[in-house]
Each structure stands twice: as structure tokens, then as C-alpha cells.
Chains A and B, each alone.
Chain A
Amino acid sequence: EPEVTQTPSHQVTQMGQEVILRCVPISNHLYFYWYRQILGQKVEFLVSFYNNEISEKSEIFDDQFSVERPDGSNFTLKIRSTKLEDSAMYFCASSEALWANTEAFFGQGTRLTVV
């Protein structure tokens, strides 16, 4: 069964450093999403991406965040200067069509720890 894969599974970084979280969506999917989940809290929407551009973003997704689909298979989330409060599990998801019309599949997540 096709899966969304994320690397690395765990990333530890110093405060102020840049991190790039990587995702490989399911190959025929067209819509891509990043969510985060601070430990013990709800899953929060960060950004959606379609047709090589951001289609929607939340207030969490400020200038420190960016997304890219550099080569047609990877979908990356970059945090330019990490803060302690960026520590969370980051989930990538993808869907073949708009989420309401078809299921979105989540990756297994990247646990980011900022120290």
C-alpha cells in the first residue's frame, strides 16, 4: 500500500538553527499539507500546497517557515531560525484530490526537538 514517508524520524537542533523536514507524498497525489502536534495537544494546520504554490496557511506559518517541492517528488518544510516552541511532531499529508473529496494520508511524522 502506498505511504507518505517522512525523514528524519527525529531531529534535534540548536535554537536558532535552520532545519529542513522532508516528505515524499504518495506519487499520484496533488495536494500536500504540513501539520504539527505539540506533545499532548491537538493536530494544528500549518500550510497546504497545490500546483506548486501555497494554497492556504495558518497564522502559525510565519516568515520563519517555508515549503518547497524541489523535484516533483519531495515536499519540504523549512524552519529558518528554530525556537524552543517549535519543538513538536510535524506531520506531512497528501491527498489525490481536495481533502473533502478523498482521504488524506499522513506520514509517520518527524519529531523535532529544539534545545
Chain B
Amino acid sequence: GENVEQHPSTLSVQEGDSAVIKCTYSDSASNYFPWYKQELGKRPQLIIDIRSNVGEKKDQRIAVTLNKTAKHFSLHITETQPEDSAVYFCAGREIGGFKTIFGAGTRLFVKA
């Protein structure tokens, strides 16, 4: 079955710097990759997603890139702000499948 690995587990950056979180997946049939942000004690919320027919997607300060050949995808946050501090989860699933597999999460700290 699908396995999603996520690195790093913890990331600390200065406000204004960029943050990059990387994920790899094992199932070549996976072709939908959402990213979720989870603030302490709250529900995971979708921040951006990408499908395998696209190599990059951007939404304001957030971008995601996908390399299907290497089976890895990354989240890029530019001009980080303290409110970006949270746990970020990558995930993967096969289009048409019902199971979304999450990575272990990255705890991002943005220092003011």
C-alpha cells in the first residue's frame, strides 16, 4: 500500500524566511497530493493540493511542486509569519481510491 514519508519532523525559521517541507510517496498510482495545516488542538485544514498532471501550483505565499519520476513533492512557504506556525501534513491518494495516506507531519516554528 501507499506510504508517505515526510521531512523534516521539526523546522524552525526566522520570520520572513522561507520554509520547505519535503515528502516522498511509494505508490506510483498515487496522483493527488493535498497539504494540511493543523494548529494546536484544531482540525486539519487543507491549504493547497496538487494533481499529477501538474508540476507546480502556487497560492500567494504557498507553493507545491511535484516530481512524479522521483515520487516526491514539496511545500514551499515564502515570507513566513508567526501565524504560519503549526503542524503541516502532506498526504497522497490514488484518484478513484478512498484512502488518503498522511505523512508524519512537520512542526513549523516561525520566530518573530
Which chain A residues have a beta carbon within 8 Å of chain B's beta carbons? 31, 33, 35, 41-45, 48, 50, 55-56, 58, 91, 98-101, 103-104, 106-109
Contacts and interface: CB of A to CB of B under 8 A. Distances in A.
What does DSSP make chain A's interface, helix, strand, loop or mixed? Answer: strand
B29 to A, nearest CB: 11
Interface of B: 31-32, 34, 36, 42-46, 49, 51, 89, 91, 93-105
B89 A98 contact: no
B89 A42 contact: yes
Contacts of B105: 41-43
B45 to A, nearest CB: 7
A42 B97 CA distance: 20
Contact of B44 (A43, A44, A50): A43
Contact of A104 (B89, B95, B96, B100): B100
Contact of A108 (B31, B43, B51): B43
Contact of B98 (A99, A103, A106, A108): A99
Given A42-B89, A103-B46, A48 B99 contact: yes
20 contacts: A31-B98, A33-B98, A41-B104, A42-B103, A42-B105, A43-B44, A43-B89, A43-B105, A45-B102, A48-B99, A55-B98, A56-B99, A99-B98, A99-B100, A100-B32, A100-B96, A100-B97, A104-B46, A104-B100, A108-B43
